């Protein structure tokens, strides 16, 4: 096995080649990211609290094989009111630089760049949210630089055998309103895996990948349009906010242990 110190830094910024085998959890404090400190391995990791013990920038899950890969996990505070402490970010839209219209396998593994836009990967989200109870926060920013948020009491994503079904707790409030509860208990859908309740493929129709019902109140993995758009419900939409003809500039979906 290769120790974490042998990993080149550039392998830490992309999740496209993440391998699901043995892991070592490690932490790297700012401003130097060159000497990760091992804090736990998978066998001893019993709670997500291990990932939040230290106030740093990055926490990672390092593949223990001889071709090291790493999943870097960005910790972030909320953008607008009601947030205390750090959250683990698993989805981010930022500038339209990453294509989110991808297939099942891409969403399974994860893709993108931590510095801009990414999806952590459904396998990774499942693993982390299975370690203990979590709460969820969604942050939105529009092109007029207004900030919105929504909070949920609990959040978990089941494994691939259950189609990454969304287990979501009660809506706790936030000025974005509740556009996610409609998707509670829904499996994940992509253009090549139609698991929604509609007679047509919601992912294809609305150009995204999501826990579609019939079809959506939210579509945060939709097309990156520049604010108001003529097309219907295929942007980064949040129905209880700016409805179906406005695509948000930036989003983060994030969780933390409770």
Predicted pLDDT of residue 88: 86
What 3-state class would DSSP assign to 230? coil
Residue-averaged pLDDT of the chain: 78
**Cβ–Cβ contacts within 10 Å for residue 49, how many?**
12
Using CA atoms, how far residue 45 sits from 39, 42, 167, 183, in Å, is 9, 5, 22, 30
Name which residue leads in pLDDT, 174 or 2.
174
Instruction: Label the pairing between strands 70-76 and 246-247.
Output: unpaired
Adjacent-strand bridge partners of 152: 136, 171
9 burial level (CB within 10 Å; 0-12, 13-18, 19+): exposed
Strand extents, DSSP E, 163-203: 166-168, 171-173
Predicted pLDDT of residue 81: 63
Predicted pLDDT of residue 185: 99
Average pLDDT of the residues in 178-187 = 99
Predicted pLDDT of residue 30: 35
| Distance (Å, whole) CA 254 – CA 138 | 6
**Cβ–Cβ contacts within 10 Å for residue 23, how many?**
20
Average pLDDT of the residues in 213-225 = 99
pTM of the model: 0.77
Predicted pLDDT of residue 78: 72
Predicted pLDDT of residue 128: 86
Question: Residue 150: pLDDT above 90?
Answer: yes
Question: Residue 151: pLDDT above 80?
Answer: yes
Q: Is 15 left (phi over 0), alpha (psi -120 to 50) or beta?
A: alpha
């Amino acid at each position: 096995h290769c120790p974490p110190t042998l990993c080149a830094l550039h392998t830490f910024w992309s999740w496209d080649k993440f391998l699901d085998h043995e892991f070592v959890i490690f932490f790297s404090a700012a401003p130097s990211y060159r000497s990760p400190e091992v804090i736990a391995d998978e066998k001893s990791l019993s709670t997500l609290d291990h990932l939040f013990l230290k106030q740093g920038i990055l926490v990672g899950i390092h593949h223990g094989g001889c071709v090291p890969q790493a999943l870097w996990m960005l910790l972030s505070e909320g953008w607008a009111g009601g947030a205390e402490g750090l959250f683990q970010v698993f989805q981010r839209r930022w500038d339209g630089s990453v294509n989110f219209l991808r297939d099942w396998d891409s969403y399974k593994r994860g893709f993108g760049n931590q510095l801009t836009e990414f999806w952590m990967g459904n396998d990774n989200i499942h693993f982390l949210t299975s370690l203990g109870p979590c709460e969820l926060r969604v942050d939105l920013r529009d092109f007029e630089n207004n900030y919105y948020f929504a909070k949920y009491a609990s959040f978990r994503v089941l494994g691939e055998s259950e189609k990454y079904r969304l287990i979501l707790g009660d809506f706790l409030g936030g000025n974005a309103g509740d556009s996610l509860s409609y998707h509670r208990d829904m499996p994940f859908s992509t253009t090549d895996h139609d698991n929604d309740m509609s007679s047509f493929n919601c992912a294809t129709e609305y150009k995204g990948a999501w826990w579609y019902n019939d079809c959506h109140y939210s579509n945060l993995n939709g097309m990156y349009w520049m604010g108001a758009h003529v097309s219907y419900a295929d942007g980064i939409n949040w129905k209880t906010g700016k409805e179906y003809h406005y695509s948000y500039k930036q989003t983060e979906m994030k969780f933390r242990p409770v």
